Amino acid sequence: MTKRVTKKVQNVMKTEFETVDGMLTVQEALKIMRKNNSKCLMINKRDEHDEYGMVLISDIARKVLAQNRAPERINVYEIMAKPVITVTPDMNVRYCARLFDRFELSRAPVLEHGKVVGIVSFTDLVLGGLCDL
């Protein structure tokens, strides 16, 4: 029997991500997403008592494109998810995958000491957690 290596979220998460203000228009957000080839943006807290938000490309597809709304007239805060379910860097990737499955998530911010230090997706969990590349 082989010993299973425990991989943690910090081993597979992406540490490069964009954080923007909720007042940004969807059109401006899309430019940032395209420039950085990203599928999500973190939305800054308004103050220390606020929570982080997140907008996914799928949110834009469902809430803007599919409803024929003008991206230059909609602010990100109108379509973002807030508050978001977060994970910790030391969480086992298997438990993170279970959490994603239970709450139908595709990605989540990784929080450490109240600050976002990364973003992890199902793709990161599978490719980083199961594959020894």
CA dist 118 and 115 (Å) reads: 9
> Is the CATH number 3.10.580.10 carried by domain 9-130?
yes
CA dist 98 and 91 (Å) reads: 11
From 77, 28, 73, select the one nearest 52 (Cα to Cα). Answer: 77
pTM greater than 0.85? yes
Q: Identify whether the C-beta of residue 106 lies closer than 8 Å to the C-beta of residue 121.
A: yes
Tokens describing residue 124: 């990161």
What are 34-88's pLDDT values in tens digits?
A: 999 999 999 999 999 999 999 999 999 999 999 999 999 999 999 999 999 999 9
Boundaries of every domain in the chain:
9-130
Q: Is the pLDDT of residue 131 over 80?
A: no
Per-residue b or e along 109-127, where b marks 16 or more CB atoms closer than 10 Å to that residue's CB? bbbeeeebbbbbbeebbee
CA dist 4 and 10 (Å) reads: 18
**What was the pLDDT predicted at 119?**
98
Percent of the chain exceeding pLDDT 90 equals: 89
What are 81-91's pLDDT values in tens digits?
A: 999 999 999 99
**What was the pLDDT predicted at 133?**
43
**What was the pLDDT predicted at 3?**
63
Q: What rounded mean pLDDT belongs to the chain?
A: 93
